[in-house]
Amino acid sequence: MGIQKAEETDMLLEIIIGILLFLILSVLLLSFFIVLTISKPRRIKKEDVYQIEVDKGYIDKTWYESIASHEYKVKSKHGYPLFMKQLIQAVPSNKVIVMVHGHGFNHVGSIKYIRIFYDLGYDVILFDNTNCGESGGNVTTMGKKESDDLESILDTVVFLYGSGVSIGLHGESLGAASSLLFASKHPERIRFVIADCGYSDFKKEVAHQIKRRFKREVPLLVATSNLLCKFLYQFSFDEVSPVHHIGSDALRNLPILFIHGEKDGYTPVSMSEELYAIKKGVKELYLAKNATHAESFGSDKQEYARQITLFLEKK
């Protein structure tokens, strides 16, 4: 009987160990999938994005293709080239808006916004983030390298226009977070930021995406995904969370307009509300009714333009 009991105990122990190993392996595989989704998005061809935006009525081809422009290859701080396009006013301007696109997209995704600024006398700078479009790099870092990209782009803008140039940033989603992260490091280099549907805390954003996919909260997946990002790509979720920087006194005098769709199920509207609440000094908040993620412009183009125009007139 003793031998049989020992054998049963050993078998039970083997089963438990097998289950634990299976669970650990499952968590690691799911975390690896999450990290790959974050850091290795599929590159979408600019021609495909252009056609999608034209079909939506977001791009007036005749107007856009009539604007004088120049294209550049800018060397990033990390050694690879960044694609940049400069759209120029008929009358020389010393005001420039730099457009920062979202995750897995390219500069074409920002074209829909540019007429607002162009009509207000701004030259426009479009560019492809690290690991997007025609730029180099093979890892998306959710704002770490992307904010460095912005520094390289701004260096080029100052080279082209001189030190007296007035520069603003408009970012969408990841582009909004990158713009806010850049602003927290270099507030003196820009005149304003427009942050459209950016995340406040990337750890919470990942947790939200996991809940959307699996219909439940899985804190362990967030933690292991964060560790894998640190190990594989040298950035942590806290590093790329604007909420940790937006309350800085250094940003007090930098005007920031936060924009978010009230029905955004991808990045909750509460994230822009949180950033707005923490930010000190000059700030505005525009919540677009019935708009989903990155669709505040599409839901009401005239109101979107009006909000930006009012914001720029106040600063």
- How confident is the model over 71-101, as pLDDT tens digits? 999 999 999 999 999 999 999 999 999 999 9
Res. 24 pLDDT band, cuts 50 70 90: confident
Distances 97 to 43, 117, 156 between C-alpha atoms, Å: 25, 7, 13
Residue 62 neighbours by CB distance under 10 Å: 7
- Contact in structure between 46 and 133 (CB atoms under 8 Å): yes
Res. 9 pLDDT band, cuts 50 70 90: low
Domains (range + CATH), the chain = 1-39+202-238 (no CATH), 42-201+241-314 (3.40.50.1820)
Confidence check: pLDDT of 38 > 80: yes
Burial class (CB within 10 angstroms; exposed 0-12, middle 13-18, buried 19+) of 88: middle
Q: Are strands 256-261 and 123-127 parallel, antiparallel or unpaired?
A: unpaired
- State residue 3's pLDDT score: 62
Instruction: Give tens-digit pLDDT for 107-118.
Output: 999 999 999 999
- State residue 22's pLDDT score: 65
Structure tokens given for 91: 């009358």
Count of helices and strands (H, E) across the chain: 11, 8
Res. 266 pLDDT band, cuts 50 70 90: very high
Instruction: Give tens-digit pLDDT for 282-312.
Output: 999 999 999 999 999 999 999 999 999 999 9
Question: Which of 45-54, 182-191, 201-210, 287-296 is the least confident region?
Answer: 45-54
Distances 237 to 30, 157, 178, 232, 293 between C-alpha atoms, Å: 17, 30, 13, 13, 21
Confidence check: pLDDT of 171 > 60: yes
Total residue count of the chain as it appears in this document: 315
